[in-house]
Structure 1
Amino acid sequence: METRRNSTTVVGFTLLPSELIHYIIIRLALPDIFNLKSVNKFITSVISDQDFTRDYNHQIKSSTWLFVYKKRWHRDPVVVHGYTRSSERWFKVVIGDILKPVTPPGEDLYFLTASGNFFLFALNCSREVISVNFMTRVVKKIPHSPLGPRGTSSWRRSGIKLLAGPFDSGQFRFLFAEMVDHNPTLFEYDSRTNKWKTTIARENVVNQSCINGKDENRTLLSASNGARRSVVISVDNVTNEPMVVRPVFSGVLEDGELAVGFSWGSVINRLHVYGDGHMMIVRSGPESVEDANRGIRVVKGVELWGLSPSGRQWAIISKVQNELIDEFKKPYAVMMGCLEKREGTIRAILMSNFDGVWDIIWLSFDFEKSIWAWIPIPEFKMDGSNMAGVTFSSGLTMT
């Protein structure tokens, strides 16, 4: 009976005007579109049409995906879980079979980052990096950088950037920043040449403006971060020339340790999360003496800071309202985060763990409207799993 009802629904759907069908399908997440291709020949023809592919790829550029890689054991299949706000559920991106030819048995994988259809993984045992194109199912090893083989702990999320090329190009650039002999240095891999380029960033000696809130023509990578001083490399996306800026933090520092990117609640009351030339400060603390003794914290404040026009200072941008914090604050023992800026919006993820249960907080800040938002996320079961990578990415495309 259920099959007959579903068939009737499909037939009724195909009787709608083709423009309306196009309008409905193009707003679905890509995994849902793929599932539709097996339902009906007419729907398959709509999805396979070149105009549909072009329109979908064009509008998907403004969408955002959250990808999380969790694992229990080395032998578990490699599955990246993805969520986008155009759907109300998590999707599984199964890439284990694609990785088999280049992944030795028992290898320990860590999910570095993603952009478009490309996923980047670090292999902890062999100390290599591999790229995966989910759509074309092409996987390749990236040559060792000039710094040589690197384990997963060497990659700092705020210091790396994966930039997918135009649609149909099958190309990407991978950039990361490091301090080498006290010199802020940019390393760039180009998949077109399969080679690395190393450039020492020039100092911003003329107080040149290196950042504009409405300018997307620069890539900002953190080379190092301390309690008071940071080193950021600003890369001109037209000339590819890197410039170094050294912002100083003049805000209030409480007593205690500073955590960058990852914190243990038992000793850390302030977590700094960096990304794309911005810094989010998460201030936490125990709710009671008992919680303090057990190493339990809750989020009590979130601040967003950005670079001043010259890059010499960290400047406060906004604070999350206490009423909004009350919506998502939960006890935690461990917390980590990632942050990105794209198209005038800051997006940040805070992943916390309490008694083995992971919780995900998605925050966004609209620069034009100066408004914070908390994005509720469907339940994501990670009990007993290890968190092995989280990142934001632009939308998956059909080509």
Structure 2
Amino acid sequence: MEDHRSSTPNAIGLCLLPQELIQNIFLSLVLPEILPLKLLNKSFSQIISDHTFVRRCNSVSAATTWLFVYKKRWLRDAVLHAFTHRSSHRWFRIRIADLHFHADNDLYFLAASANFFLFASNTVREVIAVNLITLTVKRIPPSPLGPRGTSSWRRSGMKLVSHPDGSDHFRFLFAECVDNRPVLFVYNSESDTWKSTEGKENTGSSGIVPRGGGNIFLSVAHGPRESVLVACTAQCEAPTVVRPRFDPRGSDGGLSVGYSWGNVIDRLHVYGDGYMMIVKWEGGERGKGRVLKGVELWGLSLDGRKWEFVSVVPSELMKVVEKPYGVMMGCLEEKNGILRAALVSNSEGFWNMIWLSYDATCNNWTWIPLPDCKMKGWNMAGISFSSGLILP
């Protein structure tokens, strides 16, 4: 990981300090800043490898949320940018060429969870899992649906779940409609096998936990007035099909998903973890001069039969994030009652990113300012939130 590399004289001077003080200094850093320090000298490596330091570092790092953005011109220039509000003045840069795995120019960033990151190759049509901390690489065998190109993966229809004990294992889930029936596909890295299970229709008799509660929700399809999702437990078992209806509160706008482009629609729907964010805008023809008008948050009802209105971004906060744009996309995740949304827009070649956070417990919206990612002239090839980066 690049950036924040100490010079040799500074490293020597730091080594003269008491070890306990050095540990406290290191603990004030985020993990991408700590890892390069292991390479500076033996003393730093011993401190960072100490079990007490690892435990203290991981207790903080595991709860830190990151936003990862993958941008590229060609492979040797491809960079995974990482940002957290704990270090709010800059992005960290991870060069894909430094990860030492054979890949092609047509690489797409799918998802992240803890130390694991998934990339899809369009040329060889395979999924590659990378542990960014240990720099180990694992190629995932084709799913029961066969090799898939990057266009087949839908952000809201898949999920990467790392093992809770921090071990070197993970599960990769995605949902698709097969013969008009929603099916859950789960890859287990420990057994290196896939399992597919047809979802059972939700009867509403036993009830589900649509928001929070540790359940996983994967989008399958979204029609003008109805969505189709597959819900399963955190152990990736008992897939249930839920079909929430949507009443757009007096508006004539139906459901949609993906990019907003030109003046085809006047809103964008972003899905994730049993929630839906509706982004509205006004003004401008063919995408020119449009500005955000409002952002609404909806969630699945308790019985999973409809989308319920949750909250709206306050007008004073909307004034802060208002910017003209031509095209926009987004991602949305929920964890421990906190919803995080990233809206990425492009206006005449200039990229802009907005990070919004909503605390469901106290009904509070916050905006996380993001520094300039300097993406003009680059292609964005994937975005994801993640948390749980830890030292092994």
TM-score by length of 2: 0.92
Supply the RMSD in Å over aligned alpha carbons: 2.3
For 2:338 and 2:135, the matched residues in 1 are separated by 31
Deviations 1:222-265 (A, max 9, x none): 11112310111111124711111111011236457864131114
Count of residue correspondences: 386
Cα distance in 2, alignment partners of residues 40 and 294 from structure 1: 53
Aligned to 1:204: 202
Return the offset for 1:120.
Answer: 0.5
Counterpart pick for 1:274 among 271, 276, 291? 271
Query: Which runs of 5 or more structure 1 residues have no equivalent in the other structure?
Result: none
Question: Residues 37 and 44 of structure 1 are in contact (CA less than 8 Å); yes or no, is this contact kept in structure 2?
Answer: yes
Question: Partner of 2:82 in structure 1?
Answer: 82
Contact preservation (8 Å) 1:187, 1:196 = yes
Per-residue CA shift, 1:266-302, capped at 9, x if unaligned? 322110000000000001111xxxx326643111000
Contact 1:70/1:387, CA 8 A, preserved across alignment? yes
**Residues 294 and 338 (structure 1), Cα distance of their counterparts in 2 relative to 1, 3 Å cut:** closer
Could you say which residue in structure 2 is the equivalent of 1:362?
355
In the alignment, structure 1 residue 190 sits paired with structure 2 residue 188: yes
Matches for 1:334-349 after TM superposition, within 5 Å: 334-349=327-342
- Which residue does the alignment assign to 1:284? 281
Percent sequence identity over matched residues? Answer: 50
Q: Is the 8 A contact 1:265 1:297 kept in 2?
A: no
Partner residue, 1:220: 217
Question: How far does residue 148 in structure 1 lie from its aligned partner after superposition?
Answer: 1.2
How many Å apart are 1:371 and its aligned residue?
A: 0.2
Deviation at 1:331, TM superposition (A): 0.3
Following the alignment from structure 1 to structure 2, what is the Cα–Cα distance between the partners of residues 57 and 4? 27
For residues 107 and 41 of structure 1, do their structure 2 counterparts lie closer, same or farther at Cα, with a shift above 3 Å needed? closer
* 2:319 equivalent in structure 1: 326
Does the 8 Å contact 1:363/1:375 carry over to 2?
yes
1:203-234 Cα shifts (integer Å, max 9, x gaps): 11143321254512x11111111231011111
CA distance in 2, matches of 1:3, 1:380: 25
Alignment partners' CA distance in 2, 1:4 and 1:36: 11
Taking the TM superposition and a 5 Å limit, the aligned residue runs for 1:26-175 are: 26-38=27-39, 42-73=43-74, 75-87=75-87, 88-101=89-102, 103=103, 106-167=104-165, 169-175=167-173
Which of 284, 288, 293 lines up with 1:300 in the alignment? 293
Task: Supply the AA of the counterpart residue of 2:81.
Answer: H
* Cα separation, partners in 2 of 1:109 and 1:204, compared to 1, 3 Å: same
Contact 1:119 1:132 in 2 (8 A): yes
- Within 5 Å, give how 1:12-31 maps onto structure 2: 14-15=17-18, 18=20, 20-31=21-32
- C-alpha spacing 1:183/1:37, structure 2 compared with 1 (3 Å): same
In structure 2, the partner of 1:233 is: 230
Tell me: CA distance 1:114–1:384, structure 2 relative to 1, closer, same or farther (3 Å): same
Offset of residue 76 of structure 1: 2.8
Distance 1:276 1:110 in 2: 22
CA distance in 2, matches of 1:139, 1:294: 41
Change (3 A) 1:181 1:56: same
Quick one: distance in 2 between partners of 1:3 and 1:187? 48
Which residue, out of 384, 387, 397, partners 2:377?
384
Amino acid at match of 1:332: Y
Aligned to 1:180: 178
